[in-house]
Amino acid sequence: MLNKLKKSHYLGEIYLLSCVFFWAIAFIWTKNALNFGITANQLIFIRYLIAVLLMLPLVRKELKALTKRQVMLGAVGGMLLGGGMVLQTLGLQLTTPSNSAFITTTYVVMVPFAAWIFQKIKPSFKTYLCALLALVGLYILTMTPGQMMHFEAADLLTLAGAAVFAVQIVYWTYISKQMSVKMVTFLPFVFITIFTFILTLVSGEMTLQGENIPMALVNVALCAIFPTICSGILQAAGQRLVEPSKASIIMSLESVFTMFISVILGYDMLNFNLIVGGAIIFTAIIISELK
């Protein structure tokens, strides 16, 4: 059975779907950890510290050959990833996993605009259309009956995080040409750990004082092992077997998976805003990925 699966042309899709599932359930594990009393800075610091320690044996030999330039490139990557993660996690403290996932995935629509700013690559008409669609979806997803267009703090934090992720993706495309895939992943993990440790120290959050710290740490460890390490491996393996256009569409299912998981587990209620707003955002993402 395993040998047949290895020969199947569906294997790449299975890898990518598994990767997306872990990304989706990470919103639930993160929400759990926050509910158990751990802070956003503590959560991200512990998550990436675990990831760094687990990856260290895999990159030990390559570390000896690192140049100062590569270290600096990794540091900037870590700052971008850290900034996006902190903003997203702060937003998730105040909203539901589905809302967070749908708003976060708008980074896909923002990437061409980030490339325009930093690489002078002008977006196409389709990109503007997708951005408009995503804005409409965001409005429906976050609207309150009887109010004009209005974003809550959670929505703005998450949207800001998505914008940082868009810049990070453009930047990582650049640094991926400067070092190995493993180091492109590992170095930013190191610096996001340092970055969030400093934030934790400055904000006086060095002591874990939540209601149920053991369970919070279990959820953080799950985030470190599965969405961070395993998903990285699954994504790399899947993208070797699946053409880029199909891979990007599969990976954009993250928000849809999150919605179903969140509704099943009782974190979200299916309502007009979630269904219609989420569907419009997802449509904008799919259109943006189609060639």
95-146 pLDDT, tens digit per residue, is 999 999 999 999 988 988 988 988 888 888 888 898 899 988 888 888 765 5
**Cβ contact 99:137 at 8 Å:** no
In terms of Cα–Cα distance, which of 83, 41, 69, 33 is closest to 213?
A: 33
9, part of any domain: no
225, part of any domain: yes
Burial class (CB in 10 A: 0-12, 13-18, 19+), 172: middle
**Maximum pairwise Cα distance, the chain:** 61
234, part of any domain: yes
DSSP string, 155-166: HHHHHHHHHHHH
Domain range spanning residue 229?
15-289
Mean confidence (pLDDT) of the chain: 88
**Cβ contact 93:71 at 8 Å:** no
**Cβ contact 107:162 at 8 Å:** yes
Q: Comparing 2-6, 42-46, 67-71, 287-291, which segment has the lowest mean pLDDT?
A: 2-6
The beta strand positions in 59-182, using DSSP E, are none
CA–CA separation, 110 vs 166, rounded Å? Answer: 6
**Cβ contact 28:262 at 8 Å:** yes
Report the number of distinct structural domains present in the chain: 1
Q: How confident is the model at residue 290 (pLDDT cuts 50, 70, 90)?
A: confident
2, part of any domain: no
Q: Please state the pTM of the whole predicted model.
A: 0.87
State residue 96's pLDDT score: 92
End-to-end CA distance of the chain: 35
pLDDT at residue 3 greater than cutoff 80: no
CA–CA separation, 150 vs 159, rounded Å? Answer: 13
Q: Computed over its alpha carbons, how large is the radius of gyration of the chain? A: 19
Chain segment 141-196, per-residue pLDDT in tens? 887 655 555 578 889 999 999 999 999 988 987 887 888 878 888 999 999 999 99
CA–CA separation, 120 vs 130, rounded Å? Answer: 19
Q: How crowded is residue 199: how many other Cβ atoms within 10 Å of its Cβ?
A: 18
The first and second tokens of residue 257, run together, are 């998976």
Helix (H, G, I), strand (E, B) or coil at 177: coil
191, part of any domain: yes
State residue 145's pLDDT score: 56
Q: How confident is the model at residue 232 (pLDDT cuts 50, 70, 90)?
A: confident
In terms of Cα–Cα distance, which of 150, 147, 159, 47 is closest to 100?
A: 159
75, part of any domain: yes
53, part of any domain: yes
